[in-house]
A and B are shown apart, each in its own frame.
Chain A
Amino acid sequence: MSGFEPKILAFLCNWCSYSGADLAGVSRLKMPPNVRPIRVMCSGRVDPAFVLKAFASGADGVLIGGCHPGDCHYAEGNYKALRRALFLQRMLELQGVDPRRLRIEWISASEADRYAGVVADMTEIVRALGPLNLDRWEKVRIRKR
């Protein structure tokens, strides 16, 4: 797929990942421009419907960034986000969307390099998957039992 630039929507928590992304910017780290961040108070604020809506509205990938385990500003929001993400990946796969299009990462406020690395890596993965076309199933559909 030459010339395809994936659109990746990132939900980043205010207290860690968003600051990490900010630091990456301030530090002028080189990153592909494919990620559009949305700041949320906590990764636990990301309703599964937000993720589905992102895909339905044209995102090719969704990244959820939260504080490292044990560091969530609201104690357990990131664990909830983790459970939701794992669940969503299974559901997406069964609905014919490659689960690698959804990713959850723990990125602290000081981990600008890590943020830039995740963005670069995810952009490459989603680029290789190609545009999300909901009409074209990405897995052979289970035909029979």
Chain B
Amino acid sequence: MGKPKLALYWAASCGGCEIAVLDIEEKILEVDASFDIVFWPCAMDFKVKDVEAKADGEIDICLFNGGIRTSENEHMAKLLRQKSKVMVAFGSCAHEGCIPGLANLYTREGIFERIYFDTQTTNNPEKVIPRPSTKVPEGELEIPVFNERLKPLDGVVKVDYYVPGCPPQPRQVWAVLEHLIQGKPPPPVGSVLGAENKTCCDECPRTREEKKIRKFYRLHEITVDENKCLMDEGIICCGPATRSGCGALCVSAGIPCRGCYGPPPDSPDQGAKMLAALSSVIDSQDPDEIQAIINTIEDPVGTFYRFSLAHSMIERNRK
């Protein structure tokens, strides 16, 4: 029996998740020694036809990063699913849509208008926009269709495991790979790997006190105490609504948690969790005053669902 076959792929991805795999440093050699890498377009020269030529389920593990934004992303997700025994949504984009998923607040038309006509740096007098097919003298040119909405990987195929993080932290990437390399029994299907089961607050070194908030601030508006909980100071920190596992990276550096590890295990929806946390600390019982305090939050949807909008309960139930 040969080495287990490993595929890595990126769909609508920034490339950071690919770097995250390389961030395990010299251990990458161990990955190479333990697996037969059969597809990894970012790092090695393979073609789609190499995957097509495989039997169904011939690839043992596929680490798939990036969301599903185009018809091509979707096609590759389905192809790799068919050819792989285990499909892993690797990184926040594949797990829950991540930043690209925020585009789901806009229509496809609106996105195109903004990008191809309106940005300050766009000069497009002929109003050229991408079209799935274009006639040229030589024939017809085709490019992938830009879907109406971005979907996380499990919006188009069955996913066996999720590795959260934007990007997943190297030590967690290694923990997942090591588990596979050692051939330990697989965790239950649907598990989140490479993370812990509490919240970011549980890992956070800052001291929490009784919170009473009457106004929310953005980071540049106040000077924060080095050791105090950022939320106590009125800064929106998604720590209470975020799964632990990154090692409280941002909060340790004085930056609020933006929520990239996704919702904690007890919560199906990060925005709902965050909203519940904030509702407990807003110090008012008067409807108008509460409304005014809430209104000091610039972009609640983009803030609470920064990484998980495409996986929010409302979005998940859109076609």
Chain A residues close to B by CB (< 8 Å): 47-49, 51-53, 55-56, 69, 76, 79-80, 82-84, 86-88, 90-92, 94-97, 134-135, 141-145
Contacts and interface: CB of A to CB of B under 8 A. Distances in A.
B290 A49 contact: no
Given A56-B317, A135-B319, A141 B275 contact: no
B312 interface: yes
A134 B113 CA distance: 24
Contacts, number: 99
B216 to A, nearest CB: 12
B114 A144 contact: yes
A91 B271 CA distance: 9
Nearest to A97: B314
B105 A94 contact: yes
A69 B285 contact: yes
Contacts of A76: 285
B276 A86 contact: no
Contacts of A84: 275-276, 279
Interface residues of B, number: 38
A82 B118 CA distance: 40
B278 interface: yes
A55 B267 CA distance: 17
B282 interface: yes
Contact of A52 (B113, B272, B282): B272
A95 B312 contact: yes
Interface string B178-197: 00000000000000000000
B74 interface: no
B72 to A, nearest CB: 23
A97 B101 CA distance: 18
Contacts of B304: 91
B273 A49 contact: yes
Interface string B283-307: 0110100110011000011001000
